């Protein structure tokens, strides 16, 4: 688990900087560097799942209400979901707004 | 019991790898390394060495296979030269970063162009900073001893770093010399079975070689530097073990008739033997010249070198490669860096010797010694000299 400390001391690194815990990528919140986020408008969404499949981070999932949303801890703001949605139900919004 | 036999240095080295029971050998043939891997493939084909011999389509693949097999916990060996070493370049850095104790022979050869298959140190000087332990050998016996030692130091748990045995192409690799070849039992007494620090194992999964984000990379590089520097202690210790088992003594820096010398010359590799003959001839004439032989190139043995130099006024440095447009001699530049911290330091004339297979004779060493005496007399350092250059 030492490696999962995001700022380890040199003496805390694992041998050869190996990762000993499976699934450790979860601890790295790649969403930190996002400058804009996808926002859904469910009105026209046909729940086709295209955005879910195309998201390169695999961070879009159908929610309890049947509509997809992104997990913003991992969404890097690439906008591919916006590009691929056949009903233009997703739009990018500046993080500063 | 060791056998006294006459054997080509390359074959002797391959025999030593066989005695060390390497599990995987992966290599691509390149002159002048070829005889090593040819002989290893024979040993495997004849059932004398129980190893996987993995023929590959390039040295890049050879080193990649070596990283994989070492990571899986196999004792791994390869050998290369020149362009082959250059083609391995990007993978060479991976092995120490992942703490993979691969052992490799580099039959030192010049780099193109012009195309040259002959001997000098251009290949390895271009790979100075790959993070491997590096030693140089002078003769076939040293090639055997230090190949066996390399597995021991590389696999030492305090170290766990890959190790290169540099031995000069042709002028050593293809020489037939008398050697004392140890037997399997002797080698097994000296070399314990390989127990990796960690291995690729489906029951205990690890990810080796992941991304090092900016928050990790600096610490990772510091660890590498510290490990290689700290390997010095275990290196000296295992040289001692080697002496106990085989009776031959190795030191990070060795000297020849240096104690009372007026001028010193530093050499690295097989030309040290020719230099010794020249030293003996000078001594007969009553002139006090001595040699410093750099055995360990990485980690660089700063303290031993300073001790060996002592307060001698002149230290010539022989280089067998060129740092173009820079310090000229790569070894000389390191020696000078080592001397910078000393309160008093000698003049350091530089000599570029034996490039691309140019014969280096005893007379060449005499011309170098002449320069050293002249430098001492004038108390000035001459410009770096390309020995034997036609002007
Ligand atoms: S912006 Fe990119 S990363 Fe974020 S949800 Fe859309 S496709 Fe995935
Ligand atoms: S691609 Fe568009 S329409 Fe299809 S599920 Fe995603 S948001 Fe809804």
**pLDDT 10s digits, B171-208:** 999 999 999 999 999 999 999 999 999 999 999 999 99
CA separation for the pair B218, B220 (Å, rounded): 5
Do B282 and B228 sit in the same domain of this protein? Answer: no
Residue B325 pLDDT exceeds 60: yes
Model confidence at B343, in pLDDT bands (50, 70, 90)?
confident
Using an 8 Å CB-CB cutoff, list chain A residues near B222.
10
Whether residue B352 lies inside any domain: the answer is: yes
Residue B1: the pLDDT is 84
Residue B79: the pLDDT is 98
Domains and CATH numbers, chain A: 25-94 (3.30.70.20)
Kindly report, residue by residue over B77-112, the tens digit of the pLDDT: 999 999 999 999 999 999 999 999 999 999 999 999
- Pick from B184, B212, B246: which residue ends a domain? B246
* Ligand 2 pocket mutation, candidates A38, A39, A43, A45, criterion most atoms within 8 A of CB: A45
Predicted TM-score (pTM) of this structure: 0.91
Mutate to test the interface with A, among B73, B205, B219, B226 (most CBs of A within 10 A): B219
Residue A3 pLDDT exceeds 50: no
- Residue B293 belongs to a domain with what CATH number? 3.40.50.920
Task: Find the A30 Cα to ligand 2 centroid distance in Å.
Answer: 23
Residue B386: the pLDDT is 98
Pocket, ligand 1, Cβ cutoff 6 A? A 38, 55, 57, 59-60, 70, 75-81
Whether residue B148 lies inside any domain: the answer is: yes
Q: Would you say the C-alpha torsion B232, B238, B244, B245 has a positive or negative sign?
A: negative
Model confidence at B334, in pLDDT bands (50, 70, 90)?
very high
Residue B61 pLDDT exceeds 60: yes
Kindly report, residue by residue over B140-154, the tens digit of the pLDDT: 999 999 999 999 999
Do B273 and B204 sit in the same domain of this protein? Answer: no
Kindly report, residue by residue over B23-43, the tens digit of the pLDDT: 999 999 999 999 999 999 999
Q: Which residue has the CA at smallest separation from atom 8 of ligand 1?
A: A55
Model confidence at A83, in pLDDT bands (50, 70, 90)?
very high
* Ligand 1 pocket mutation, candidates A72, A81, A85, A93, criterion most atoms within 8 A of CB: A81
Task: Give yes or no for a contact between B106 and B297, defined as CB atoms under 8 angstroms apart.
Answer: no
CA separation for the pair B287, B279 (Å, rounded): 9
Residue B70: the pLDDT is 98
- Pick from B231, B246, B261: which residue ends a domain? B246
Residue A4 pLDDT exceeds 70: no
Residue A29: the pLDDT is 86
Task: Find the B122 Cα to ligand 2 centroid distance in Å.
Answer: 60
Tokens 């970063």 sit on residue: B97
Whether residue B224 lies inside any domain: the answer is: yes
Whether residue B328 lies inside any domain: the answer is: yes
A50 C-beta closer than 6 A to ligand 2: yes
Return the ligand 1 atom nearest residue A90 CA. 6
Which residue in chain B has the smallest CA separation from A18? B208
Q: What angle do CA B158, B336, B277 make, to 5 degrees?
A: 90
Residue B344 pLDDT exceeds 60: yes
Residue A24: the pLDDT is 79
Check residues B211 and B230 and name the one with the higher pLDDT.
B230
Whether residue B95 lies inside any domain: the answer is: yes
H/E segment holding residue B188: helix B184-190
Whether residue B391 lies inside any domain: the answer is: no
- Residue B186 belongs to a domain with what CATH number? 3.40.50.970
Residue A2 pLDDT exceeds 80: no
Domain span at B366: 253-386
Average pLDDT, chain B: 97
Highest mean pLDDT among A23-37, B98-112, B209-223: B98-112
Residue A6: the pLDDT is 73
Extract long-range pairs of B240-248: CB within 8 Å, 24+ residues apart: B241/B152, B241/B190, B242/B145, B242/B148, B242/B149, B242/B152, B242/B190, B245/B186, B245/B189, B245/B190, B246/B2, B246/B145, B246/B180, B246/B182, B246/B186, B246/B190, B248/B141, B248/B145
Say yes or no for a CB contact (<8 Å) between B208 and A10. no
Q: How many domains does chain B have?
A: 2
A18 inside 8 A of chain B by CB: yes
Which residue in chain B has the smallest CA separation from A3? B216
Cβ neighbours of A86 (radius 10 Å):
11
Give the residue-averaged pLDDT of B221-239.
98
Do B262 and B238 sit in the same domain of this protein? Answer: no
């Amino acid at each position: 688990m030492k490696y999962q400390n995001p700022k380890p001391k040199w003496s805390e690194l694992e041998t050869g900087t190996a990762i000993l815990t499976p699934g450790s990528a979860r601890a790295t919140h790649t969403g930190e560097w996002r400058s804009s986020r996808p926002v859904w408008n469910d009105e026209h969404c046909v729940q086709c799942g295209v955005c879910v499949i195309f998201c390169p981070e695999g961070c879009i999932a159908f929610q309890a209400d049947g509509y997809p949303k992104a997990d913003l801890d991992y969404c890097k703001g690439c906008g591919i979901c916006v590009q691929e949605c056949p009903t233009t139900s997703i739009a990018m919004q500046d993080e500063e707004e | 019991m060791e056998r006294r036999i006459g054997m080509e240095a390359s074959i002797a080295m391959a025999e030593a790898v066989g005695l060390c029971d390497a599990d995987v050998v992966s290599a691509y043939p390149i002159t002048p390394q070829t005889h090593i891997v040819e002989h290893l493939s024979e040993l495997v084909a004849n059932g004398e060495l129980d190893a996987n011999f993995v023929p590959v389509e390039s040295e890049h693949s050879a080193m990649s296979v070596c990283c994989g097999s070492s990571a899986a916990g196999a004792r791994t060996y390869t050998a290369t030269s020149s362009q082959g070493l250059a083609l391995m370049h990007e993978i060479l850095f991976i092995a120490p970063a992942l703490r993979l104790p691969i052992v490799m022979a580099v039959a030192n050869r010049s780099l193109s162009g012009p195309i040259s298959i002959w001997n000098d140190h251009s290949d390895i000087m271009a790979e100075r900073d790959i993070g491997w332990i590096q030693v140089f050998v002078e003769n076939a016996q040293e090639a055997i001893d230090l190949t066996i030692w390399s597995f021991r130091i590389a696999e030492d748990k305090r170290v766990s770093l890959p190790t290169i045995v540099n031995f000069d192409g042709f002028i050593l690799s293809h020489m037939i010399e008398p050697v004392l070849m140890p037997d399997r039992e002797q080698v097994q007494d000296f070399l314990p079975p390989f127990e990796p620090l960690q291995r690729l194992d489906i029951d205990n999964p690890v990810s080796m070689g992941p991304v090092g984000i900016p928050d990790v990379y600096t610490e990772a590089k510091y660890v590498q530097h510290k490990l290689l520097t700290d390997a010095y202690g275990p290196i000296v210790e295992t040289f001692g073990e080697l002496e106990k088992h085989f009776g031959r003594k190795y030191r990070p820096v060795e000297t020849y008739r240096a104690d009372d010398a007026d001028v010193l010359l530093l050499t690295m590799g097989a030309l040290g033997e020719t230099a010794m003959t020249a030293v003996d001839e000078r001594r007969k004439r009553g002139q006090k010249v001595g040699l410093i032989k750099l055995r360990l190139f990485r980690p660089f043995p700063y303290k031993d070198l300073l001790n060996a130099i002592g307060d001698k006024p002149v230290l010539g440095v022989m280089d067998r490669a060129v740092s173009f447009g820079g310090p000229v001699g790569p070894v000389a530049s390191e020696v000078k860096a080592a001397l910078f911290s000393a309160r008093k330091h000698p003049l350091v004339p530089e000599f570029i010797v034996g490039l691309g297979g140019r014969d280096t004779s005893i007379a060449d060493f005499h011309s170098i010694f002449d320069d050293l005496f002249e430098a001492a007399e004038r108390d000035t350092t001459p410009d770096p000299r390309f020995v034997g250059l036609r002007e």
